[in-house]
């Protein structure tokens, strides 16, 4: 199995779409009068649907007046350009009066999840994009007082750590550093590599509603870190709580051990990969955005 997502490691899905859209609207056809797009963020929003990951953009509606072209015609031209730029990364649908929808393919989701698992997630794209969170957040102190509302987030992080370490001890996965420490670089999964995210038909194994909800929350959090909405500030405590709640539902309804481990080891490994991805994002949000120590155990 090969993963060919044309973006740098740990980049958010929204960054990927921004990059593709920018390339498309920068070609000669639109170059003369696209200054209004260059001067502000391209309109791009993540859709609310736990069954799929899709984004929608009104860029053709915004450009239609300056280009003196019908929005649907312009949307078709942009979609045609994007098909060549980001083939196999997402499917494109044009919706009247000129919206462009992007639905991520299963292979793209697998590649993105794998990028969170192969190493500690440190938001490497931050600082390179306007509005991203930089390193000016408080240094976490394990002795500092923590708001009661964040206990659930700390618990979710510690629970992820204990479950992943248990899986390592039982041989379901193999970690590079099986004994965690408090350094920024956390252990990562080296076997299986890549994790079996996709089945033999190229379909994501993680299709339970609570699995898809957790994946959607992870994508949203990384989007917020790498390219937050310039029109508003991110409420990081709420973001962290939403992610921890999605994890709790996933863990309650999506088993890893017992019958699943015996009859569907690939599914168990994919779910463990989702745990590692969740741990890495929770750790980043707790320590970098909230200035709170991410505990390995409670």
- Give DSSP secondary structure letters for 24-47: HHTSHHHHTT-HHHHTSPPP-EE-
User: Which residues make beta-bridge pairs with 101?
Assistant: 56, 93
Q: Look at the block and give the residue holding tokens 């937050």.
A: 228
What mean pLDDT is predicted for residues 255-262? 94
Band the pLDDT of 43: cuts 50, 70, 90: confident
Question: Quick check: 224 and 263 in contact, CB under 8 A?
Answer: no
pLDDT tens-digit readout, 76-117: 988 888 887 777 889 999 999 999 999 999 999 999 999 888
Q: Identify whether 189 is preceded by a cis peptide bond (ω within 30 of 0).
A: no
Its pTM stands at 0.83
Of 6-15, 50-59, 171-180, 271-280, give the range with the top mean pLDDT: 271-280
Q: Domain limits of the chain?
A: 13-104, 108-289
CA gap 75, 3 in Å, rounded: 29
Asked if residue 9 lies in contact with residue 124, where contact means CB atoms within 8 angstroms, the answer is yes
pLDDT digits (tens, 9 = 90+) for 178-232: 665 544 445 678 899 999 999 999 999 999 999 999 999 999 999 998 876 655 5
Nearest one of 251, 236, 221 to 286, comparing CA atoms: 236
The dihedral region occupied by 7, where left means phi > 0, alpha psi between -120 and 50, and beta the remainder, is beta
Other CB atoms within 10 Å distance of the CB of residue 199: 14
- Provide the CATH topology of domain 108-289: Isoleucyl-tRNA Synthetase; Domain 1 (1.10.730)
Residue 248, pLDDT > 70, answer yes
Residues 6+ apart with CB under 8 A from 216: 50, 53, 246
- Domain boundaries 13-104, corresponding CATH code: 3.30.1360.70
């Amino acid at each position: 199995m090969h993963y060919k997502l044309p973006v740098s490691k740990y980049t958010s899905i929204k960054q990927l779409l921004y990059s593709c859209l920018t390339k498309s609207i920068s070609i000669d056809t639109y170059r003369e009068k696209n200054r209004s797009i260059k001067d502000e963020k391209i309109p791009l929003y993540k859709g609310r649907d736990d069954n799929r990951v899709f984004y929608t953009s009104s860029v053709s509606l915004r450009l239609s007046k300056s280009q003196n072209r019908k929005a649907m015609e312009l949307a078709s031209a942009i979609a045609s350009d994007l098909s060549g730029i980001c083939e196999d990364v997402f499917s494109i649908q044009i919706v009247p009066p000129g919206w462009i929808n992007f639905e991520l393919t299963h292979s793209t989701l697998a590649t993105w999840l794998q990028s969170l698992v192969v190493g500690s997630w440190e938001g490497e794209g931050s600082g390179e994009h306007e509005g991203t969170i930089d390193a000016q957040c408080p240094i976490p102190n394990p002795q500092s007082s923590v708001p009661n509302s964040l206990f659930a987030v700390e618990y979710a992080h510690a629970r992820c750590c204990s479950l992943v370490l248990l899986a390592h001890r039982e041989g379901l996965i193999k970690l590079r550093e099986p004994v965690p420490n408090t350094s920024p670089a956390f252990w990562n999964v080296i076997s299986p590599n890549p994790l079996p995210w996709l089945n033999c038909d190229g379909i994501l194994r993680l299709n339970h509603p609570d699995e898809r909800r957790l994946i959607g929350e992870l994508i949203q959090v990384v989007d917020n870190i790498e390219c937050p909405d310039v029109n508003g500030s991110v409420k990081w405590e709420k973001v962290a709580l939403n992610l921890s709640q999605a994890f709790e539902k996933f863990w309650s309804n999506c088993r890893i051990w017992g019958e699943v481990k015996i009859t569907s080891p690939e599914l168990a490994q994919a779910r463990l990969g989702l745990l590692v991805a969740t741990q890495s994002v929770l750790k980043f949000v707790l320590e970098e955005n909230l200035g709170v120590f991410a505990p390995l155990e409670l």
